[in-house]
A and B are shown apart, each in its own frame.
Chain A
Amino acid sequence: MDAEISLRVDGEAHRLTVDTRTTLLDALRERLGNTSPKKGCDHGQCGACTVLLDGERALTCLALAVAYDGAEVVTADGLAADGELHPVQQAFLDRDAFQCGYCTPGQVCSAVGVLDEVRRGWPSHASPDLTGDPELSHDEVAERMSGNICRCAAYVNIVPAVQQAGGQAS
């Protein structure tokens, strides 16, 4: 069954027809040709497909496109829409926080989401105090970024990159 939906992707409005089984990830990649989000597992197990969905990080392989009619999607590419890298992207470059780059768009979107969640005071499993303002400690960042697998294992560079982008020198 097909359905027609609207999506705003990286600032651009789209009207598109999707199979009701189409994930948001496949809608982006295979219908709209935006291949910035990657498919590493299609099962919500790796994080490669992470985008900012209505402002929060989300796994697009676990979202059915038909359920997101009218949504606003920002991919890693869209974070640098005006050609200028987002501070998170710059920090990933500075810290060599990747090798093959396949997990990277997802890591970058996830990190942008993490910084926002921390700014809003959301605690994590690693927070020493559930009511205080979380800090961008190693453990906080590593915990919050653990939904994004990096098989090249750039983790020890990703954590300082996220801290750098969050204005916390490591």
Chain B
Amino acid sequence: MTELVEPRAMGRALVRRDGVQKVRGTATYAVDTPVDLPAYCHPVQATIARGRVTAMDTTDAEAVDGVLAVLTPFDAERLASTEDAEYAVLQSDEVAFRGQLIGVVIAETSEVAREAADRVRVSYAGQPHDTELSADRDDLYAPGQVNAGHETDTAEGDVAAAMAAAAVTVEQTYETAMYHNNPLEPHATTALWDAAGDGFLTLWDSTQGVHPDRAAVCQVFGLAEGQVQVICPYVGGGFGSKGTPHANVMLTAMAARALPGRAVRLALTRQQMFFLAGYRTPTIQQVQLAADRDGRLSAIAIDVVEQTSKIKEFAEQTGVPARMMYASPSRRTTHRLAALDVPVPSWMRAPGECPGMFGPEVAMDELAEALAIDPIELRIRNEPEVDPETGKPWSSRHLVECLREGAERFGWAGRGPRGHRDGDWLVGTGVAASVYPTLRQATSTATIRFAGGRYVVEIGAADLGTGSWTILPQIAADALGVDVADVDARIGDTRHPVASVAGGSSGTNTWGSAIVQAAREFRGTFGTDPHDGAEASGDVDQAAQDEDHAAYAFGAQFVEARVHADTGEVRVPRLLGVFAVGRVINPRTARSQFIGGMTMGLSMALHENSVFDTRIGQVANHDLAEYHVVSNADVDAVEAYWLDEHDPYVNAMGSKGIGEIGIVGTAAAVSNAVHHATGVRVRSLPITLDKLLPALP
């Protein structure tokens, strides 16, 4: 058990501390940073998907008035490390995917940089490329592990025997599309090398973690950490795509080194982001469920096929949630990858859980239908006493309570096996469960200083809109036992103590634990009447870490869907989620995270789809006109609620991560509601008209 901090500021719906700057537009994102006389970069990208660059003629580009430099693989500096092939920009003439960075123009203005980049003439020796994902490929392979260090495959009992013996089975293939994170702020960097000596590099970079960002840059350029400062007070969204730096950061640093003493800016265009900023792999999920007449599961299996790039492996852990979600004596999860000539996939909001709760949660709905059991009741009957994967007890698990409270609030009672018709609209409801692990990173330090009668908390944490600017002072205030108005936070700068990435919904758990530790050190050393300048630090690894429990947040998503009987248009007038996430530190910012995640899940269900043109090896719809994300008019009511859950094991705040769980399960709930409305089971996302129309009654 962890010694819990008594909540006074925690639990209050305080207004965002960075709110005024954001509504005025004065919050400085990476290329908003005022610098003297910035130069502008425009990248050159490969227009073949595989092969070699044989020559680049930069004469015309260099002749454009205002061009300062043009870098190509033939003349760019050699990097200290090319171990990470994604970061090895301009280090060889090889092209591993279409859109890869093969050059950069630096110019006095952005217009000139862009024009000159167009004037670079590139010759290629192209080779046939291979970009088509399919479950039938004969070269699928098992990665050494999947994302977040999970095992690639797990097996328990005999799934085949259970399937053969079961009263009812479900055996279906489910697919999720390729998705691009598309934070509204493009990936952007301002870089400045000090002209003196070996130089000092300052990066104003849009990143989910200034310290991990710096570590990657130091490795690639062979620099000591003391030679690089990364600054990022505000991030215009990331959703995982800014959790690790991408090649554009290295290219900007390289471009800046060509012009020491001059700040250079590089913001990817929206189109370029579809090649260079990571994405979620499409997934093909073969799901098997076996159950007795009462709905008790005897087998759960998920066999996942997805893609990675040839130059860098990323294995989305799509099969992982099936390992712990429901009780079953036999179970199998596998992951197989196709390595393709495609851009490098990476994290996108709830990697693993988000796609991995689509197939299984639709399959549970299919099982409920086959058994004529209410889908909520089916889930309740398969609640595991302990974590099926580890055998550990739960730190807290209130999925059943989420389902029941959601049912109550949504008006689930009396729902029949089919929806109803309202004029031209077919109306139905659906439910799905959601889950996200409670994660804590190994490294983070916070410092608390008493200065001028105020407490100053410093930690290199990030606020991607998640609320860190506001909630970290709430945690510090309670840990110190002072008024939150007397606490200032300083984040988003490597001058502050080291902080982990804002990823895996682990930020508050990790940074908050370090802050509580620092506050306890501070009070232990200086008591309640500290002298001016008193300072203490705390590390997350000093904080109590429970190893004896399985810690997860749970939730239930409810959807009402209306499908137009003639056109197949799908509307979701109501989306309602109930979550069990431990203590909510700021209900205002937390609610925004839940509704944001749920709405992104709605977007995934109905709209988002990166259509890959395998003939040329690129996403065909690579902008915001063609890659549809939900707009205001696509969204009606989205309601988020949470239980008053107490978890004494997770951390001193009693809080679980909340940034990702909102997206998990939403798409399955939408598909289940569409089925209830129409009788059509859409197992492949997104749920578009073409999949509904031929089958509509």
Chain A interface residues toward B at CB < 8 A: 19, 21-22, 26, 29-30, 33, 35-43, 45-46, 48, 75-77, 79-80, 85, 89, 92-94, 96, 98-105, 108, 126, 138-139, 141-143, 145-159
CB B115 to nearest CB in A, in angstroms, measures: 8
Which residues on A sit within 8 Å (CB–CB) of B183? 100, 102, 151
Whether the pair A93, B236 counts as a contact (CB closer than 8 A) is: no
Known: A30-B40, A36-B24, A151-B239. 9 other contacts (CB 8 A): A29-B32, A45-B623, A79-B24, A99-B593, A101-B234, A101-B465, A149-B631, A150-B632, A155-B630
**B146 CB, nearest partner CB in chain A, Å:** 27
Contact B29 A104 (CB under 8 A): no
| B interface, size bucket | 35 or more
Residues on B with beta carbons closer than 8 Å to the beta carbon of A152: 184, 237, 465, 592, 596
Cα distance A126–B212 when bound, in Å? Answer: 47
* B interface with A by C-beta (< 8 Å): 15-16, 18-29, 31-32, 34, 38, 40, 109-112, 115, 182-186, 234-237, 239, 267, 269-270, 464-467, 588-589, 591-593, 595-597, 599-600, 603, 623-625, 629-638
A98-B23, A100-B235 known; A153 and B630 CB under 8 Å? yes
Shortest Cβ distance from B237 into A: residue: A100
Question: Is A40 a contact partner of B34 (Cβ separation < 8 A)?
Answer: no
A99 touches B466 (CB 8 A): yes
Query: Do B19 and A77 touch (CB < 8 A)?
Result: no
Partner of A102, one of B237, B592, B629: B237
Which 6 pairs show the lowest CB-CB distances between chains A and B?
Answer: A99-B465, A36-B25, A101-B22, A102-B236, A100-B465, A105-B25
Assess whether B110 is in contact with A30, with CB atoms less than 8 Å apart.
Answer: yes
Contact residues in A for B597 (Cβ distance below 8 Å): 153
> Which one of B18, B29, B184, B603 has the highest number of Cβ atoms from chain A below 10 Å of its Cβ?
B184
Kindly list chain A residues whose C-beta atoms are within 8 Å of the C-beta of B184.
38, 40, 46, 48, 100, 102-103, 149-152
Q: Do A45 and B635 have beta carbons less than 8 Å apart?
A: no
Chain B hits for A79, CB < 8 A: 24
In the complex, residue of chain A having the shortest beta-carbon distance to the beta carbon of B15: A93
Chain A to chain B contacts (Cβ below 8 Å), 23 pairs? A21-B111, A22-B111, A26-B111, A36-B24, A77-B26, A85-B24, A93-B16, A96-B16, A96-B588, A99-B589, A99-B596, A100-B234, A100-B464, A101-B234, A101-B465, A102-B184, A102-B237, A105-B25, A108-B23, A145-B632, A149-B629, A149-B631, A156-B638
A33-B34, A99-B596, A151-B182 are contacts. A38–B632 as well, Cβ < 8 Å? no
Main secondary structure of the interface of B (DSSP, over half): loop
Give the contacting residue for A43; candidates B182, B270, B600; CB below 8 A: B270
From B23, B112, B623, A85 is in contact (CB under 8 Å) with: B23
Contact A99 B592 (CB under 8 A): yes
Within 8 Å by CB of A76, from B18, B23, B235, B632, lies: B23
* CB < 8 Å neighbour of A75 from B22, B25, B625: B25
Q: Is the CB of B624 within 8 A of A149?
A: yes
Closest to B40 in A: A30
Contact present for A38 and B236 (CB under 8 Å): yes
Closest to A79 in B: B24
Contact A77 B633 (CB under 8 A): no
Q: Is the CB of A157 within 8 A of B24?
A: no
- Do B633 and A126 touch (CB < 8 A)? yes
A99 CA to B183 CA, complexed, in Å: 12
- A137 to chain B minimum Cβ distance, whole angstroms, is 12
Shortest A68–chain B CB gap in Å is 16
Q: Taking CB as reference atom, which chain B residue is nearest A46?
A: B624
**B111 and A39 form a contact (CB under 8 A):** no
CB distance from B14 to the nearest CB of A (A): 10
In the complex, which of the residues B24, B34, B112, B638 contacts A77, with contact meaning CB atoms closer than 8 Å? B24
**Residue in A138, A145, A154 whose beta carbon sits within 8 Å of that of B596 in the complex:** A154
Q: Is the CB of A156 within 8 A of B235?
A: no
A155 touches B182 (CB 8 A): no
Whole-angstrom distance between the Cβ of B112 and the nearest chain A Cβ: 8
List of A residues within 8 angstroms of B27 by Cβ: 101
Determine which of B16, B23, B632 lies in contact with A155 in the assembled complex, contact meaning CB atoms within 8 Å.
Answer: B632
Measured CB to CB, the closest approach of chain A to B462, in angstroms, equals: 11
Q: Do B624 and A93 have beta carbons less than 8 Å apart?
A: no
Q: Complex formed: what's the CA distance from A126 to B633 in Å?
A: 10
A89 CB to nearest chain B CB (Å): 4
Name which residue of chain B comes closest to A162, CB basis. Answer: B632
Q: A30-B109, A99-B592, A99-B593 are in contact. Are A148 and B632 (CB under 8 A)?
A: yes
Nearest Cβ distance between residue B22 and chain A, in whole angstroms? 3
Closest chain A CB from B372 CB (angstroms): 35
**Contact A35 B28, beta carbon cutoff 8 Å:** yes
Please give, as numbers and ranges, the residues of chain B lying within 8 Å of A22 by CB-CB distance. Answer: 109, 111
With A102-B236, A156-B635 known to touch, is A76 a contact of B599 (CB < 8 Å)? no
**Is A38 within 8 A of B25, CB to CB?**
yes
Q: Which residues of A contact B21 (CB under 8 A)?
A: 101
Cα separation A29 to B25 with both chains bound (whole Å): 12
A74: min CB distance to chain B, Å: 11
| Shortest distance from the beta carbon of A165 to any chain B beta carbon, whole Å | 11
Q: Are A43 and B623 in contact (CB under 8 A)?
A: yes
Q: Kindly list chain B residues whose C-beta atoms are within 8 Å of the C-beta of A147.
A: 631
* Contact indicator A38/B185 (Cβ below 8 Å): yes
Q: A77-B24, A100-B235 are in contact. Are A156 and B16 (CB under 8 A)?
A: no
Decide yes or no: A19 and B109 within 8 Å by CB, A100-B237, A100-B465 being known contacts.
yes
Q: Which of B18, B25, B592 contacts A35 (CB 8 A)?
A: B25
Chain A residue nearest to B13 (CB atoms) is A96
| Interchain CB contact (< 8 A) of B632 among A45, A80, A101, A142 | A142
- Check if A156 sits within 8 Å of B186, measured CB to CB: no
**Bound complex: CA A98 to CA B589 (Å):** 9
Cβ-defined contact, B237 with A104, below 8 A: no
Q: Please measure, in the bound complex, the distance between the C-alpha atom of A37 and the C-alpha atom of B296, giving whole angstroms.
A: 56
Q: How far is the CB of B80 from chain A (nearest CB, A)?
A: 32
A residues near B630, Cβ cutoff 8 Å: 153, 155
In the complex formed, the residue of A with least CB distance to B586 is: A96
**Which of A38, A98, A126, A155 interacts with B599 by CB under 8 Å?**
A155
**Shortest CB–CB separation between residue B174 and chain A, in angstroms?**
24
Task: Across the interface, name the chain A residue whose C-beta is closest to B663.
Answer: A153
Are B638 and A142 in contact, CB atoms less than 8 angstroms apart? no
Task: Give the distance to chain B from A62, nearest Cβ to Cβ, in Å.
Answer: 12
Q: Please give the distance in Å from B639's CB to the nearest CB on chain A.
A: 8
Measured between C-beta atoms, what is the minimum distance from A77 to chain B in Å?
Answer: 5
Residue of A nearest to B33 (CB): A35
User: When the two chains form their complex, are residues A80 and B596 in contact, meaning their CB atoms are under 8 A apart?
Assistant: no
Instruction: Give the chain A neighbours of B589 by CB distance below 8 A.
Output: 96, 99
Q: How far is the CB of B349 from chain A (nearest CB, A)?
A: 11
User: Smallest distance from the beta carbon of B491 to chain A beta carbons, Å?
Assistant: 14
A39 vs B24: C-alpha distance in the bound complex, in angstroms? Answer: 15
